[in-house]
Amino acid sequence: MMSMPKSLLALIAILTGLTLAAAALLPPHTPSEKSAYSLVQSTLKAPLPATSLQLTSQTLADSQFAVQLGLYPDLQQATTTAQQLSLPSVPSIFATEQNAHLWYTLLLGPYPDMEQAQSAQSQLATKGIAATNLVVWPADGASSKQSASSKSQASPNTQEQGS
């Protein structure tokens, strides 16, 4: 098993801290009849490599984009945050894996180009949701999102960790 470089650990710690801080600042969400999140079931059994979400010069040309709202070590944290946020559309939760660690990524999208993703990010910032990142929408996310399980309450079954 590879050990994580210190810079990666620092980045994860910063993102986790920002995610937790942003969730604490969110206004209480009034439940509505619309789904609070979409859980991409296929990634629970086969988590996506975390690197597949990174923006690179290769991904900028032929990709869809997303606003990453948070990165969580626990599925319950991701679903709870998704339910608390007042968003313009239903966010999706993808399981990702980095150096044998499982993370749940909360994404808003997909957006067909970087400009629309940046616009959505700016709109979220005006609502007080500023701790976000732009990422690549997972390649199989469009088809997975159609078959994703939409939830209106955070009641995930036991976490399945892919091997």
CATH of the domain at 82: 3.30.70
The confidence band for 156, taking pLDDT boundaries of 50, 70 and 90, is: very low
Look at residue 8 and tell me if it is in a domain. Answer: no
| CA-closest candidate to residue 66, choices 154, 141, 151 | 141
**pLDDT on residue 61:** 75
Q: What is the pLDDT of residue 3?
A: 57
CA 78 to chain centre: 8
Is 40 inside a domain boundary?
yes
Which residue has better confidence, 93 or 14? 93
Rounded CA-CA distance 51/53 in Å is: 5
What pLDDT was estimated at residue 57? Answer: 76
Burial of 118 (0-12, 13-18, 19+ CB in 10 A): middle
**Number of domains forming the structure of the chain:** 1
For residue 43, tell me if it sits in a domain: yes
In a domain, 95, yes or no: yes
pLDDT in tens, 65-124: 999 999 999 999 999 999 999 898 999 999 999 999 999 999 999 999 999 999 999 999
Does residue 52 lie in a domain region? yes
Residue 15 is assigned to a structural domain of this protein: no
Is residue 127 included in any domain, yes or no?
yes
Cβ–Cβ < 8 Å for 93, 150: no
In the predicted structure, residue 6 carries a pLDDT above the cut 70:
no
Take residue 39 and report the two structure tokens written for it: 């859980």
What pTM value is reported for the model?
Answer: 0.67
What is the mean predicted confidence (pLDDT) over 135-155?
Answer: 53
Q: For the segment 24-82, what is each residue's pLDDT rounded down to a tens digit?
A: 444 444 444 457 899 999 999 999 999 999 988 777 777 899 999 999 999 999 999 99
What are 65's two structure tokens? 């984009």
Within-domain flag for 115: yes
Domain holding 132, by residue range, is 34-151
